[in-house]
Amino acid sequence: MEEKIIKTEYSEVMQKSFIDYAMSVIIARALPDARDGLKPVQRRVLYDMHELGIKYDKPYRKSARIVGDTMGKYHPHGDSSIYDALVVMTQDFKKGLPLIDGHGNFGNIEGDGAAAMRYTEARLEKITQDSFLADLDKDVVDFIPNFDETEKEPSVLPVKFPNLLVNGSEGIAVGMATSIPPHNLGEVIDAVKAYMLDESITVEGLMKYIKGPDFPTGGIVINKDELLEIYETGVGKIKVRGKVDIEKGKGGKTNVVISEIPYPMIGLNISKFLTDVAALSETKKTQDIVDISNQSSKEGIRIVIELRRDADVDNFVNMLYKKTRLEDTFGVNMLAIADGRPEIMSLKQIIQYNVDFQFQVATRKYTTLLEKEREKKEIQEGLIKACNVIDLVIEILRGSKDRNMAKACLVEGKVDGIKFRSKESKIMAAQLRFTEKQANAILEMRLYKLIGLELEALINEHEETMANIYRYEDILDRRDSMAQVIINELEQIRQEFAVPRKTVVENAAEAVYIEKKVEEMEVVFLMDRFGYARTIDMTTYERNKEAADAENRFVFVCKNTGKVCLFTNTGQLHTMKVTDIPFGKFRDKGIPVDNISNFDGEKEIVVAAESQTSLNLYRMIFVTRQAMMKVVDGGEFDVAKRTVAATKLAENDEVVSVAVMKEQKQVVLQSADGYFLKFSIDEIPDKKKNAIGVRGMKLGTKDYVENVYYLQSGTEQVINYKEKPVDLHKMKAAKRDGKGTKIRI
């Protein structure tokens, strides 16, 4: 076989491939169709269940069977994505209108996942069967080949109401995402009816029927005045609060009971909310909390926070709105596939698009029904006519040699070869002109049809057929008639399936939380070698001074209203509020500093310095591994950001020591090879924090600064260097940038 090499530009291939991939994800995976409000995987699951006959009044079938059949026939993208879609369509806390009736563990509102598909069972909900799949046999939508062209699947389901609004949708595609909140079925149907009666209605007019989103978790939408703009543009933010009730507790205490949560909180965010509330107490943001308990069950959400007797309940609730996710934001981006392309749609556009789709479906449905009724009419008229000349028909059948001869006589009046009893019969037979279908029906007619009652039933059936033809022609010829049919179907759906609204929509005042001023006092900051930090009062520290100094890496006094500075070996400065650090007993474990600061990933903390504001009074000495040194004014570190660069480092360099200059007079640099260099601190120049500094010591090729010691006048300082005592005060002073003296072991 001759080898064929195609030369092309690599960038063009990449561009085309990425565009193809992006469009595939956008159109065929992540975004819903504006007509039925379903993503392809959801549509395929529902259609497969319909094909398998798993109806609402039939027994449940294993989810694994549904998933496997869907994957094999329609959706070749892995079983997990299919099962996840099936699970979501069963969850009444995620969908305003569940489309699948699940039997077994399909997860819960607190974030627990569904059981494996081999354990759970499912079947269609009644509304899905009646309003999503009912007319597929009437040629109402186009069927397209599946992925391997062995099956046919509907390109869209003939949904009878704007499911895109009722159930909402969330999905992330390539370069775009959709986020549509769920709405109340009854309100959406009322809005559709209003639009059909007056197509010039505005979004504001539609909002007289659709008050706003209706989340299955309830809650309170608090920015009612902003909803009009959101629904006009299709983009915006909806603020949602949980529902809070106040109950009397035991012993005169007050219970704050959360019975409904914001929709974005469903899942693992409930446990995060409980953690955040507990953290408010641990960090002394509030001292009103006595106990927290999650008493939620199948009956609904119930989170109880027990408060002290003298607690300011209103201020505490406002603090929950401000400091936790009890007040959250639902980002709206009403993006859907319309006419084969993604489009951000307003509320009216979604309804308009769906109504146009309803008229298309109804036109195809009644065209199909009309054709069937006309076929019935033709056959019925033939049978009635045949019954009127039944003796002649029987004479033709008895006198014919075969079926074809009899049929030719009935259709074309050919009498050759047929034996008649009389010439009159032959003349009458030659005048017969039945149609092909009528002739076949006459030849297949059973004798009991000649009974009087059966003949009367046939005439009545013909009259009914004529009435249906007249009705279907009227529906197809007059838009008003078709609109009335669609409205009647919508009203029937509303009466059977609509439920009261769960979410309250109002304009609520912004939560105002008055934070109690913390009484300023001095506390002792302790951080052990594992990075756990805590603060204790001065009295506790004095009683346990020896143990505190021995067990902790950093110990210093600071104000409880200030900030603690963490200087790392990578040259970063992280700050954390002292109020975020647990204050308690000496033996308390504390909290990891990376939980309350941005410290994450650096090898180690070089020093934890006293409160940020006090650094304004001092200067800071920086020493790096490559012996670069500088003095920086402490005021440069009084910044609002939680993380800043504390110093500039050369390549492969790192900070070895950071010290606050107070009473130090001299500095001693010790290298890894055992060289010691002692000189006056005054020789270190003042620099800005973004400067590298000057060299403090000449180092060998592979040598580096290992330790830094600071000396005060009038005090002795003896260190152990490789088990040999070294008196730093007796060491001879030199100049900066010398090689130093090597200590012999």
Residues that are catalytic: 119
**In this structure, how many other beta carbons lie within 10 angstroms of the beta carbon of residue 84?**
15
Distance in angstroms between the alpha carbons of the first and the last residue of the chain:
79
Whole-angstrom distance, CA of residue 49 vs CA of residue 701: 74
Whole-angstrom distance, CA of residue 586 vs CA of residue 420: 121
Q: Which one-letter DSSP state was computed for residue 64? A: H
* Length of the chain in terms of residues written: 745
**Residue 425 · residue 390 · CB < 8 Å:** no
Q: What angle do CA 707, 552, 575 make, to 5 degrees?
A: 80
**In this structure, how many other beta carbons lie within 10 angstroms of the beta carbon of residue 639?**
12
Return the residue matching tokens 């009309």.
Answer: 370
3-class SS of residue 83: helix
Q: 405-410 contacts: CB < 8 A, separation 24 or more?
A: 406/443, 407/439, 407/440, 407/443, 410/434, 410/438, 410/439, 410/442, 410/443
- Residue among 305, 317, 303, 235 nearest 269 (CA): 303
Residue 470, φ and ψ in degrees, nearest 5? -60, -40
- Residue among 73, 75, 31 nearest 51 (CA): 73
Residues contacting residue 529 through CB under 8 Å, at least 6 positions apart: 552, 553
Q: What angle do CA 154, 157, 162 make, to 5 degrees?
A: 155
In 26-108, alpha helices (H): 40-52, 63-73, 79-88
| Sign of the four-CA dihedral 264, 267, 270, 275 | negative
Paired tokens of 355: 């109504």
Write out the H or E segment, with its range, that includes residue 154.
strand 152-154
Write out the H or E segment, with its range, that includes residue 558.
strand 554-559
Whole-angstrom distance, CA of residue 288 vs CA of residue 310: 8
Whole-angstrom distance, CA of residue 223 vs CA of residue 508: 7
Q: What angle do CA 157, 160, 162 make, to 5 degrees?
A: 90
Q: Which one-letter DSSP state was computed for residue 617? A: G
* Chain centroid offset of residue 316 CA: 29
Whole-angstrom distance, CA of residue 37 vs CA of residue 351: 11
Q: For residue 273, count CB atoms less than 10 angstroms from its CB and return exposed for 0-12, middle for 13-18, buried for 19 or more.
A: buried
Paired tokens of 282: 């641990």
Whole-angstrom distance, CA of residue 427 vs CA of residue 326: 92
Q: What is the DSSP string of 256-275?
A: EEEEE--GGG-STHHHHHHH
61: left (phi over 0), alpha (psi -120 to 50) or beta: beta
DSSP3 helix / strand / coil % (the chain, rounded to 5): 40, 25, 40
Give all strands (DSSP E) within 339-381, no chain letters: 341-344
